[in-house]
Amino acid sequence: MRLAIDVMGGDQGPRAIIEGSARAVIERPDLELTLFGPYQQIIAELSRLPQPLAAATSRLVAVDAPECVSPEATASWALRRGQSTSMARMLSSLSQNEALAGVSAGNTGALVALARRELGMLPGISRPAISTAIPARKGRRCYLLDLGANVDSPAHRLFDFAMMGATMAHCIDGVERPKVALLNVGAEATKGSADVREADRLLRECSSELAFDYQGYAEGGDIFQGELDVVVCDGFVGNVVLKASEGLTRMLVERVQMAFESRLSGRLASVLARPVLKRLKQELDPVRYNGASLLGLHKTVVKSHGSAGADGFYYAIQRALQEVEHKLPARVAGRWSRHAPPQL
């Protein structure tokens, strides 16, 4: 199995991405990764890998891509002048069937624009949506989309997102009829923007024909209750919710640890509770949930958080592997054809 990696997109530089890639390769004997970026820089970073990861170099192939998409670059710049960048070369390898999936921590707008052009959209889907899983109560998780690919989303696009999110929950988590809701500022029918209210009307009108159970409106706190499988919103709202929840999670874990260590008796309790605190941190750590899917494309593309370190990028690769193993794009296309939304 071969995946393509853009090594130039992360805030921490190629070293973190290459180390995360090496870790993924060490764990999967059948995995090979093609690394796109400045050739000499990749080779130098491969030579610096820690000894336990050194064996991975035989399955990490460097391909020269001398330029990168800067964080400040616009999507239009990437489309006009970004053909030699590591991001574009990575996506091109997918379009030529040289790899099964691609992972990048680079500029989101550029990645969405280039992926649409290089890979194309599945029939009936107009724009990709970025989606990731958020941990919820009862050991469950909730898929949230969109997370930034579409800042303004009309009603018909929110309808599409509901379909794609439900397909993700069905294919990846095995939920037969996912519970889907629209994120809103309240449960009342009169609340929310015109687009959200129109999307609600469309989903209710088509509820008997859908392959999921539409639950109506959800408020922000409902995402974490474990009762919903998918929550739909526009990209601006979704991105804010995601970043806020990540920050809150880190703060809560730190506060709990500080509370235990603030007094002598607390420090003793901290020692006794250390296994529980470690488990809590592992379960809630946003790093473990790094990797957001670009749904609606012909191939699997995963967007890693730009600030992700080696561990975070490793989890983004795991996300891509999971989608490849579940043949997610093909299953989205198949489920879409069987439960096609109306012409809106």
Q: What is the pLDDT of residue 269?
A: 58
Cis peptide bond prior to 146, omega within 30° of 0 = yes
pLDDT at 308 over 90: no
Instruction: Name the one residue in this structure whose structure tokens are 């209750």.
Output: 225
The reported pLDDT for the residue numbered 101 is 97
pLDDT tens profile 203-232 = 998 877 788 999 999 998 899 999 999 999
Say how far apart CA 188 and CA 130 lie, in whole Å. Answer: 27
Mind listing the domains of the chain with CATH numbers? 1-125+296-329+337-344 (3.40.718.10), 129-288 (3.40.718.10)
Report the chain's mean pLDDT, rounded to a whole number. Answer: 87
Predicted model pTM: 0.86
pLDDT at 143: 94
| 69-116: pLDDT as tens digits | 998 999 999 999 989 999 999 999 999 999 999 999 999 999 999 999
Give 182 or 126, the one with higher predicted confidence.
182
pLDDT computed for residue 250 by the predictor: 76
Strand stretches in 206-299, DSSP E: 213-218, 230-232, 292-295
Reported as a pLDDT band with limits 50, 70 and 90, residue 28 is very high
Q: How confident is the model at residue 124 (pLDDT cuts 50, 70, 90)?
A: confident
CA distance 336 to 162: 11
- Is the model's pLDDT at 24 over the cut of 80? yes
Name the percent of the chain lying above pLDDT 90: 56
Share of the chain above pLDDT 70, in %: 89
pLDDT reading at 274 higher than 70: no
**How confident is residue 262, by pLDDT bands cut at 50, 70 and 90?**
low
Query: 3-state class of 2 per DSSP?
Result: strand
Residue 280, pLDDT > 70, answer no
CA-based Rg of the chain, rounded to a whole angstrom? 21
Tokens of 211: 């392959």
SS3 label, residue 312: helix
Residue that the structure tokens 């670009």 belong to: 294
What is the Cα–Cα distance from 292 to 302, expressed in whole angstroms?
A: 5
Roughly how many angstroms between the first and final C-alpha of the chain, as a whole number?
39
- CB-based contact 65:84 (threshold 8 Å): yes
pLDDT band of residue 47 (cuts 50, 70, 90) is very high
Give 64's strand partners. Answer: 37
Average pLDDT, integer, range 233-239:
90
* Beta bridge mates, 32: 2
Predicted confidence band of residue 123 (pLDDT cuts 50, 70, 90)? confident
Least confident of 187-196, 235-244, 276-285: 276-285
What span, in angstroms and rounded, lies between the C-alpha atoms of 132 and 246?
Answer: 12
**Does 266 have pLDDT greater than 60?**
no
Instruction: Give the whole-angstrom CA distance, residue 37 versus residue 84.
Output: 10
SS3 13: coil
Residue 279 confidence (pLDDT): 66
Give yes or no for residue 157 having a pLDDT over 60: yes
CB-based burial, 267-286: b 16+ in 10 Å, e otherwise: eeebeeeeeeeeeebeebbb
- Give the separation between CA 99 and CA 92, rounded to whole angstroms: 9
* pLDDT score at 247: 81
pLDDT at position 142: 93
CA geometry: angle at 66 spanning 118 and 36, to 5°? 55
- The arrangement of strands across the sheet holding 179-183 comes to 60-64, 32-37, 2-6, 101-104, 300-303, 292-295, 129-135, 141-145, 230-232, 179-183, 213-218
Instruction: Determine which of 194-198, 215-219, 306-310 has the lowest per-residue pLDDT on average.
Output: 306-310
